[in-house]
Structure 1
Amino acid sequence: MHPGVTVEPEVVTMTNNSHHDVIVLGAGAAGLSAGLVLARAQADVMLIDSGSPRNAAAAHMQGFVSRDGMPPAEFLSMGRQEICGYGGTVVSASVAAVTRRDDDWITVTLTDERALEARALLVATGLTDEIPDLPGVRERWGSLVHHCPYCHGYEVRNQEIVVIGGPARAMSLKQAGLLRRYSDRVTLVTNGIEMTDDETRRLEKFRVRIVDGTVSRLIGDTGTLDGIALTDGRTVGCDAAFIAPRPRPNDGLLRSLGCAIDPQTAFVAVDAAGQTSVPGVWAAGNVVTPSAQVISAAGAGSSAAIAINGWLLDQDLNRASAR
């Protein structure tokens, strides 16, 4: 998190009989955007967040028009304040389980065994980047070691950049090509990636240097990066490094509800508005779209909120008509 910026959610007293129109799990960009739309629409909305944002290690977020360069923690704090200003609630807690009752209400059970109920649920719990277990990577993650050229490429322009091949093979190769827009000194260390002749030719013609070798560790004093050490004793100098981690969606709660899985992506399947196969359950942001940046995750949250509000309205009209 950015030094000096704390995120203080509103603390509320919850009982086992707490009922809400919508519960949003996750108060990142997608969850906050949804919460704001729903609170302004006069829905009783509660956001529950465990306080582990994906971009906590980054000093700034980029590419969000009017918020470019803002510290992520400041963005989250402002979003929470806006939602609470419209009557929404943000609480700091972890969720143990989610169940859908026979009457279609959804029960959210917290790890302290408190239970909350909602007519609709939006899951915006994001994903976890599975960072390679290489000495020197984790302590530099988000500052000198990055994963997204769109988020951090501009900040390392004209520097000597090394792309470390990883389990996300296709993204590693794409990183090397994308980063050539920012620097004419880009090296791809294969690190176990078996490249085809065509892949090698295309990148080399694009003036990406390719080093076939396995990375053993990153070199440099604390807060610096001097290069990459290979297992055969060679070193590759650099000022910044990029790695494509494997994205692991935090979708256990969605799967426990029986939400259908997209066979192509292996992520939970949603429609254009984020609705899952389970009635009353939506999902938005990185939990279902790993490539979503902050601004696109926020847009997905907004779209889901509008769809949820329309769904609630339809239920209300049906109930009123039945009476």
Structure 2
Amino acid sequence: AVRCADGSVVRAGRLLIATGLVDELPELPGLRERWGRDVLHCPYCHGWEVRDEPVAVLATGPFAVHQAQMWRNWTDRVTLLTHLRPLAGEERELLSALGVAVAEGEVTGLEVTGDRLAGVTLAGGARVVCTALVVGPRFTARAGVAASLGLPVATVERAGAEIGTCLEADPVTGATALRGVWAAGNVAAPMEQLAGAAAAGVRAAVAINGDLIEEEGLRALEAHRAAGRGGGGAQGASGRS
């Protein structure tokens, strides 16, 4: 059974957890309010909308340079904001070779004009013009329901760096370590996009349906055998009397 926030209880023979994840953003004034609008993450999801525009990449982790390279596919007006992450000499050389500008210093705020991002400000007072700001959030699985069932939540790493958490589940069927519980979508695969997450839901649904069919068959067989044994015994007793 699952208890909902309003106190109601839902009972079912199987449970599919598809609670998604939470994007944990860097602590920066005004950032969360612009998230998904002109503060972005994925070039494959949002690149077309900001093509050829000035894009700034906020360096918050080891993949900042890689992010700048990806967004360069959409615009040649990319600036990497070092923020709190110093760049290595080889990284600077690579960015220079690619024509990616570098702005030194901590980012202290966003500039918004007419409900559109216009730029960011640095600690020294400098301003960097951009109409889109790229950040790398931490992907944290919404695993409250899973945790209440005692299911393990794993750390997700990429190139040796932690990028978030996920609920452990079979990558094909979505089955978890707990009998009768499946997981699908970003709660189990944080890097998955919409189409892949939806497909995972379909695969899990097929697996759940198959499991229910198998259980139904076993119960029917048990009932059939039990009825057969009972009927045979009664007939035998009647024949001897």
For Structure 1 versus Structure 2, the TM-score category normalised by the shorter chain is 0.7 to 0.9
**2:4 alignment partner in structure 1:** 110
**2:104 alignment partner in structure 1:** 212
Matched, 1:311 2:211: yes
Give the TM-score normalised by structure 1.
0.63
**Which of 160, 167, 174 is the matching residue for 2:54?**
160
**2:149 alignment partner in structure 1:** 257
| Rounded Cα–Cα distance in structure 1 between residues aligned with 2:56 and 2:156 | 31
**Which of 116-125 and 172-181 deviates more?**
172-181
Unaligned runs of 5+ in 1: 1-106
Distance 1:311 1:170, change over 3 A: farther
Superposition RMSD on alpha carbons, in Å? 1.7
**Which of 131-140 and 141-150 deviates more?**
131-140
Q: Is the 8 A contact 2:140 2:166 kept in 1?
A: no
**2:78 alignment partner in structure 1:** 186
Identity of aligned residues (%): 40
Q: Is the 8 A contact 1:275 1:281 kept in 2?
A: yes
Task: Report the secondary structure of 1:241's partner residue.
Answer: strand
Task: Report the secondary structure of 1:139's partner residue.
Answer: helix
CA offset digits 1:274-321 (Å, max 9, x no partner):
111111111111111111111111111111111111111111111112
Q: Is the 8 A contact 2:143 2:153 kept in 1?
A: no
**2:13 alignment partner in structure 1:** 119
Task: Report the secondary structure of 1:183's partner residue.
Answer: coil
Kindly provide the amino acid, as one letter, of the partner of residue 255 in structure 1: A
Q: Is the 8 A contact 1:270 1:277 kept in 2?
A: yes
CA offset digits 1:125-179 (Å, max 9, x no partner):
111111223223222222221111111111111111101122xx14433321100
Following superposition, the deviation at residue 204 of structure 1 comes to 2.8
Kindly provide the amino acid, as one letter, of the partner of residue 235 in structure 1: R
**Which of 116, 120, 127 is the matching residue for 1:228?**
120
Task: Report the secondary structure of 1:262's partner residue.
Answer: strand
Kindly provide the amino acid, as one letter, of the partner of residue 134 in structure 2: F
| Rounded Cα–Cα distance in structure 1 between residues aligned with 2:148 and 2:53 | 46
| Rounded Cα–Cα distance in structure 1 between residues aligned with 2:98 and 2:75 | 12
Question: Greater Rg, structure 1 or structure 2?
Answer: 2
**Which of 190-199 and 229-238 deviates more?**
190-199
Matched, 1:279 2:184: no
User: Of Structure 1 and Structure 2, which has the larger fraction of its residues in helix?
Assistant: 2
Following superposition, the deviation at residue 235 of structure 1 comes to 1.1
CA offset digits 1:23-42 (Å, max 9, x no partner):
xxxxxxxxxxxxxxxxxxxx
Task: Report the secondary structure of 1:155's partner residue.
Answer: helix
